[in-house]
């Protein structure tokens, strides 16, 4: 290793240590005086020592690097134990952070610099989110933790066992790809679910609807429709339904754009027009009524094993039916499948359609049809569950958004 490269790598090792030291120094500052606790220099030296020991290990052997690591870990851990006795704060986080700074400094000196820096950034971010993570964990129930662990185990243990080749005679079903898409949808839905659980009772129904729209716009709409049976303001409930619908449109665009970017020129203009229409009407309705405290929408955790299996089964069914319909009946058959699947869900038909190699304009029309049917069906369901004023109040802006989107698509 030449001198210039070695100096660069040792500089990265030092920078990694400084990054850890800044976070620890800020977190461990004295709350009364706002003085930073000593830590920046110690962690900077930890990263540099790790880099230097790894570099010397290239010439002196790996035994030297191992002895250097054990010596550093022992001294640093002993110092942190002594300091914890004085402060009565018995936490292993700082000691583990120092050891990690040493190891990442060593990786930067002799291994992949990008991996070392990326790992350091992620680690410091986790350290800085201590209170947020603790509050989030405190809101989780035992069932949610169990379902999340089982789903993670299924994703990482089952995924390598699944075939990466089509398993059906038509070459349509790739089990590994289907399971990856299923876990990604569950992860995105879980973000919305966490937002619902973490917002608290003061944020209002609109923010709740936006977070619920990430998990399921249909479930959010039905939950708001049930609230209409009580004394909740109908105009605000309609505004919440429109916010959830707008989030659904954004979600569909993101999913389709990731799977097949060629769809975006045809999907983005009409979806943006519908998005603007929904949010415009929602803002007008929200300004003309008073927001109550946020209600509990009763959305279950999407990290549910049976829910994930149902989503995988639905995704498999839609992919198979839409592929066969497109193969044997052309675009007409695909439109029928989109209209039927859009009654309950748009993610499955969006994913199955975006995976096809066909005319992007025709594929975009299929997705837009499913979205239009889904929007109209939610208005009908809202009318049947809640007060008629809520159902009809949601129906006319839904039809307006569909009409505006269709007009923009025709113009484009």
106 & 231 share domain: no
Rounded CA separation 315/323 (Å): 12
Last residue of a domain, one of 66, 94, 128: 128
Q: Percent of the chain scored above 90 by pLDDT?
A: 16
CB 344 within 8 A of CB 381: no
141-174 pLDDT, tens digit per residue, is 777 677 677 767 777 777 777 877 877 787 767 7
Q: Rounded to the nearest 10 degrees, how much is the dihedral formed by the CA atoms of 148, 151, 157, 161?
A: -170
Q: Where are the alpha helices (DSSP H) in 129-216?
A: 130-139, 142-153, 175-198, 205-215
232 & 119 share domain: no
Last residue of a domain, one of 128, 155, 186: 128
Can you tell me whether residue 129 is helix, strand or coil?
Answer: coil
CB 408 within 8 A of CB 400: no
Number of domains forming the structure of the chain: 2
- How do the pLDDT tens digits run along the chain, 412 residues long? 678 888 999 999 999 999 998 888 776 654 444 444 447 888 999 999 999 999 999 888 888 989 999 999 888 888 878 777 776 666 678 888 889 999 999 999 998 898 999 999 989 888 887 776 777 677 667 776 776 777 677 777 777 778 778 777 877 677 887 777 677 656 655 654 555 555 543 445 677 677 767 766 776 777 677 666 555 577 878 888 898 889 889 988 988 888 888 889 999 999 999 999 999 998 888 887 765 554 555 555 556 667 667 767 766 776 777 667 767 776 677 788 777 777 667 777 788 788 777 788 888 888 888 888 888 878 777 777 666 777 788 888 888 988 998 899 888 7
pLDDT at 296: 52
CB 277 within 8 A of CB 401: yes
Task: Give me the domain span that covers residue 310.
Answer: 135-411
- Distances in whole angstroms, Cα of residue 61 to Cα of each of 65, 68, 352: 7, 11, 54
Q: Which residues contact 255 (CB under 8 A, 6 or more apart)?
A: 347, 350, 351, 354
83 & 208 share domain: no
176 & 139 share domain: yes
- Distances in whole angstroms, Cα of residue 291 to Cα of each of 243, 277, 335, 372: 14, 21, 40, 29
Q: Where are the alpha helices (DSSP H) in 260-411?
A: 264-287, 305-341, 347-354, 360-385, 388-411
116 & 139 share domain: no
CB 399 within 8 A of CB 262: no
222 & 352 share domain: yes
215 & 254 share domain: yes
Can you tell me whether residue 86 is helix, strand or coil?
Answer: helix
214 & 338 share domain: yes
115 & 159 share domain: no
Q: Number of C-alpha atoms within 13 angstroms, CB side, residue 10?
A: 15
Rounded CA separation 366/28 (Å): 56
Rounded CA separation 6/89 (Å): 39
Q: Rounded to the nearest 10 degrees, how much is the dihedral formed by the CA atoms of 135, 138, 140, 141?
A: -170
First to last CA, the chain: 58
215 & 277 share domain: yes
Region for 200 from its dihedrals, namely left if φ exceeds 0, alpha if ψ lies in -120 to 50, beta otherwise: left
pLDDT at 165: 81
- Distances in whole angstroms, Cα of residue 181 to Cα of each of 45, 165, 167, 281, 333: 44, 15, 17, 33, 24
332: Cα separation from own chain's centroid? 34
366 & 293 share domain: yes
Last residue of a domain, one of 128, 146, 171: 128
CB 100 within 8 A of CB 122: no
94 & 163 share domain: no
CB 308 within 8 A of CB 214: no
pLDDT at 34: 44
Structure-block tokens of residue 95: 């000691």
Rounded CA separation 267/213 (Å): 19
């Amino acid at each position: 290793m030449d001198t210039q490269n070695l100096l660069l790598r040792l500089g990265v090792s030092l920078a990694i240590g400084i990054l850890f030291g800044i976070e620890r120094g800020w977190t461990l500052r004295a709350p009364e005086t706002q003085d930073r606790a000593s830590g920046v220099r110690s962690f900077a030296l930890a990263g540099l020592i790790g880099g230097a020991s790894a570099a010397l290990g290239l010439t002196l052997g790996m035994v030297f690097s191992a002895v250097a690591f054990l010596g550093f870990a022992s001294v640093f851990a002993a110092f942190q134990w002594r300091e914890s006795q004085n402060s009565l704060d018995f936490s292993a986080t700082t000691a583990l952070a120092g050891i990690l700074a040493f190891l990442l400094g060593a990786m930067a000196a002799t291994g992949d610099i990008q991996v070392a820096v990326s790992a350091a950034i992620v680690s410091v971010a986790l350290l800085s989110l201590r209170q947020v993570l603790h509050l989030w964990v405190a809101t989780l129930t035992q069932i949610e933790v169990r379902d999340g662990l089982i789903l993670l185990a299924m994703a990482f243990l089952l995924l390598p066992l699944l075939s990466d080749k089509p398993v059906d005679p038509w070459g349509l079903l790739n089990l590994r790809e289907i399971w990856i898409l299923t876990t990604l949808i569950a992860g995105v839905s879980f973000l919305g679910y966490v937002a619902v659980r973490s917002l608290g009772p003061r944020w209002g129904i609109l923010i709740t609807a936006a977070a619920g729209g990430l998990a399921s716009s249909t479930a959010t709409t039905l939950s708001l429709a049930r609230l209409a049976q009580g004394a909740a303001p109908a105009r605000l409930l309609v505004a919440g339904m429109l916010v959830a619908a707008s989030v659904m449109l954004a979600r569909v665009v993101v999913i389709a754009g990731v799977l097949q970017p060629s769809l975006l020129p045809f999907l983005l203009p009409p979806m943006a027009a519908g998005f603007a229409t929904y949010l415009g009407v929602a803002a007008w309705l929200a300004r003309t009524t008073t927001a109550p405290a946020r209600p509990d929408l009763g959305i279950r955790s999407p990290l549910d094993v049976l829910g994930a299996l149902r989503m995988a089964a639905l995704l498999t069914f839609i992919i198979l039916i839409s592929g066969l319909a497109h193969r044997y009946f052309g675009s007409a058959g695909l439109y029928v499948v989109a209209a039927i699947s859009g009654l309950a869900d748009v993610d499955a038909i969006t994913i199955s359609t975006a995976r096809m190699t066909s005319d992007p304009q025709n594929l975009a029309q299929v997705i837009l049809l499913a979205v239009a049917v889904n929007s109209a069906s939610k208005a009908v369901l809202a009318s049947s569950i809640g007060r008629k004023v809520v159902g009809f109040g949601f129906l006319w802006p839904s039809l307006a958004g569909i009409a505006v989107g269709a007009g923009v698509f025709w113009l484009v």
